[in-house]
Structure 1
Amino acid sequence: MATNPEKKERKFSPKRFFQRVARFFRDIRGEVKKVVWPTRKQLWNNTLVVVAIMLGTGAIIWVIDLIFTGVVKLTLKV
């Protein structure tokens, strides 16, 4: 397999590495500044919605489980 003589060899450079790491963290800081954080009221409302959905889903699964348990018990008695 022939190698391309124009292709530069990539050597590890500590200086370049730390520059890239520093740029990465600067970029993170810039992105975090763009975040629109929810207000306390929005956070509370969203939390209540999540808890209500969890309880509702749990109740539905519980009812379905009771139905399947009854069907299995009837099937095994016969």
Structure 2
Amino acid sequence: MGFLARIGSSFRRTGAFFGDVVSELKKVRWPNRKELTSYTIVVIVTVVLLAVFFYIVDLGISRLIDLILGT
């Protein structure tokens, strides 16, 4: 297979890929405004809770290391 034939084949496969992407995106069920708002709130609350948890764990480990090292 020649160089130009490989390039042409590559472009055809790329076009087919994007065609498949568009067809799959048409099958997606997008959330409505109410669902999107509730999902966003869940994500924000989860992130805040995890941040507080890791802050407390980090603070505890830091204090433990300070006790061990005697500083």
What interval of TM-score do these two structures reach, taking the shorter chain for normalisation?
0.7 to 0.9
Higher CA-based Rg: 1
Greater helix content: 2
What is the aligned counterpart of 1:30 among 23, 32, 53? 23
Q: Which residue of structure 1 lines up, in the alignment, with residue 42 of structure 2?
A: 49
Which runs of 5 or more structure 1 residues have no equivalent in the other structure? 1-9
1:58 aligns with 2:56: no
1:76 aligns with 2:69: yes
Q: Which amino acid aligns with 1:74?
A: L
In the alignment of these two chains, the number of paired residues is: 69
Q: Kindly, what percent of the aligned residue pairs are identical?
A: 30
Q: How far apart, CA to CA, are the structure 2 residues paired with 1:17 and 1:58?
A: 46
Normalised to the residue count of structure 2, the TM-score between the two structures is 0.74
Q: How far apart, CA to CA, are the structure 1 residues paired with 2:42 and 2:28?
A: 22
Normalised to the residue count of structure 1, the TM-score between the two structures is 0.69
Q: Which amino acid aligns with 1:77?
A: G
Cα deviations across residues 8-55 of structure 1 (Å, max 9, x unaligned)? xx4453665544443333222211110111111111111111111111
Which runs of 5 or more structure 2 residues have no equivalent in the other structure? none
